[in-house]
Copies of this chain bind each other. A is one copy, B any other.
Amino acid sequence: MTDAELRARAAKVVPGGMYGHLNAAIFAPGYPQFFERAEGCRQWDADGRAYIDFMCSWGPVVLGHRHPRVEEAAARQAALGDCLNGPGPIMVELAELLVDTIPSADWAMFSKNGTDATTQALMVARAATGRTKVLRAHGAYHGADPWCTPSTAGTTPNERADLVEFDYNSLESLEAAAASAGDDVAAIIVTPFKHDSFEDQALVEPAFARGARALADRLGAALVIDDVRAGFRIDLRGSWERYGVRPDLTAWSKAMANGYPIAALTGVDALRGAAQTLYTTGSFWFSAVAMAAAKATIETLRDTDGIAAMERAGTQLREGLYAQAKAHGFVVNQTGPVTIPWLSFDGDADLSVALHWSDACLRHGVYLHPWHNWFMSAAHTEQDVALALEGTDRAFAETRSHFG
């Protein structure tokens, strides 16, 4: 069954044939929609084409597909049971691992979607403070529930009425947002760096991070880091630990279990009582297999220094792409952490160069994205990146020849 045949069938039984962030129709022409299999850092589409993959399923796959230690832990748990009348001992072990690993975590709650965890964070903050308003950065992605989905289709004004926006990295704007919310600020929610689609990424200004912490303290509000996208690829201790800034609450998901479905909210002791007052749950939130996979993933990242491996591979990719772009006469911007990289072409406002180049990369066996950040995994070896760079070099040449 080819990708084209599957799309034709999907068009009849799924609205638009596909939806959400994996909808190839919305992100670039030429991209395959359906995938058949994966191994390590490689994925094969439904037409049997192989890619060295720099999207990692948009984040979740952090150790490479079918990682032996993760698969073994998951299989061992699955042989006992998965979705039971209560959690397994693994829930306690995983919560203890998070508390031991993350300095700002005195407790953990588990769920399934990143959106579950960001939503829980606001609920904990509101329950703790008795306030309603949440300050969030303009354009930041915090999930796809009605309160945060980037599209307003199907949402009501009331569902988004308790949010006040500020500009990322602008303390002045954050202070103004707080002032406009008066004494009703429950939380500031912020991604660990600016990773909005269609824009160059921007690392957080340490002064902004510290200022957000100070403001939250002054207001008696919770500082929430949405580490769903970046978590476990910058610092296992939390993505702002390097700046000496600790959040009150952190939302985790994506890379936490190497592709198994799980999310977590971690928090400080002061918010434990508030967290306890919520009624938040889901049919599969306490399933043991994803928890076993999460424990194995985090332990493997820790024991093998997986982040250092991703940094090496990401640096190799970034340096290689710079050299190639220069050789082919392109000025490019490579932004964000090297483990969560992105490349844009200077002056390419309509993305025509990026779309052409990423499409050419695809044809040369390299899967990356024209307007959304990429993800490295610990399975990307020096050889894999070198091989991918052969493909990107041919793509730069074709794009140069196309645009003249």
Q: Which residues of A contact B (CB under 8 A)?
A: 1, 6, 9-10, 12-16, 18-22, 24, 32-39, 43, 45-46, 53, 55, 57-61, 65-66, 80-89, 91-92, 95-96, 98-99, 106-109, 112-116, 119, 122-127, 132, 144-147, 149-151, 153-159, 161-162, 228, 253-254, 259-261, 267, 272-287, 290, 367
Contacts and interface: CB of A to CB of B under 8 A. Distances in A.
Contacts of A132: 156-158
Nearest to A1: B89
Contacts of A96: 9, 12-13
A81 B35 contact: yes
A357 to B, nearest CB: 18
24 contacts: A10-B95, A14-B91, A14-B109, A15-B107, A16-B275, A18-B87, A20-B279, A20-B280, A22-B281, A34-B89, A35-B81, A36-B80, A36-B88, A37-B84, A38-B80, A55-B85, A57-B83, A123-B153, A126-B155, A144-B280, A151-B279, A153-B279, A253-B283, A261-B261
B154 A278 contact: yes
A23 to B, nearest CB: 8
Nearest to A96: B13
B99 A20 contact: no
A185 to B, nearest CB: 13
Given A85-B35, A85-B53, A116 B113 contact: yes
B83 A276 contact: no
B158 A162 contact: yes
A109 B19 contact: yes
Contacts of A125: 154
Given A13-B95, A20-B282, A126-B156, A81 B33 contact: no
Contacts of A18: 86-87
Contact of A154 (B32, B153, B273, B277): B277
Contacts of A89: 1, 6, 34, 36, 46
